[in-house]
Amino acid sequence: MPSPVGHLLGGAIVGLLVEPAAVLVIAIAGAAPDVDFLWGRHNAETHSLGAAVLTGAVVLGWARWANLKVCPHPYRLALAVTLAWSSHVLFDWLGSDDTPPLGVMALWPLNSTYYFAHAYFFEAISRRYWLSNFWSHNLYAVAKEVLILGPVLVALRVFRSRALRRFRRRDTT
């Protein structure tokens, strides 16, 4: 399963696609499901599409109540947070997992089944610091995430910058 770096990159990609004004908040939403480490139920309820929708609903309510000036589109912000949270579920489903139960509880609250794609797209991040390959394996895993997701993020950023420049040029003429 990806590291926080991979999940932040996934959230940032969603942010650039849906609501660039709040890309940092949306990137954090991409890593947020790992909060479940605090109560020892990793890959359970917070790693689900149900939790993603619930979080999006909370963000929508908060953004409408707060009448945010930074992000004047509360529905887009809520959608982006929901999609970034869902990217975490997707990445963990596509990743390697070496800690039972394997997979993610993706369809909670509809069911409590753990789903695992066996795709091994991302490496499992080791939490076994006492092993001799702890650092080398985790550095390799993070580098792989950056090599997979980094170019997508950079390409989106470049595309958005060029589109914005074209829009401004057209607007001034």
Q: By three-state DSSP, how is residue 14 classified?
A: helix
Q: Look at 22 and 170; give whichever has higher pLDDT.
A: 22
The pLDDT assigned to 169 comes to 80
Asked whether the beta carbons of 97 and 116 are under 8 A apart, the reply is yes
Distance between CA atoms of 112 and 109, rounded to whole angstroms? 7
Burial class (CB in 10 A: 0-12, 13-18, 19+), 4: middle
The pLDDT assigned to 173 comes to 59
Tokens of 57: 């609903």
Q: Look at 164 and 83; give whichever has higher pLDDT.
A: 83
What would the mean pLDDT of 116-121 be, rounded to a whole number?
Answer: 92
The pLDDT assigned to 76 comes to 94
Looking up tokens 């949306």 gives 26
Distances 117 to 74, 106, 120 between C-alpha atoms, Å: 33, 11, 8
Distance between CA atoms of 145 and 5, rounded to whole angstroms? 8
Q: pLDDT digit string (tens) for 52-77?
A: 999 999 999 998 888 766 567 899 99
Distance between CA atoms of 13 and 132, rounded to whole angstroms? 34
Burial class (CB in 10 A: 0-12, 13-18, 19+), 162: exposed
Q: Output the pTM of the full model.
A: 0.91
What would the mean pLDDT of 4-16 be, rounded to a whole number?
Answer: 98
Looking up tokens 């997508």 gives 152
What would the mean pLDDT of 93-102 be, rounded to a whole number?
Answer: 89
Spell out the residues 6+ positions from residue 28 whose beta carbon is closer than 8 angstroms to its own: 8, 11
The mean predicted confidence, pLDDT, of the chain is: 93
Terminal Cα distance for the chain, rounded: 49
What one-character DSSP code corresponds to residue 124? Answer: P
Spell out the residues 6+ positions from residue 18 whose beta carbon is closer than 8 angstroms to its own: 26, 76, 79, 80, 83
Burial class (CB in 10 A: 0-12, 13-18, 19+), 117: middle
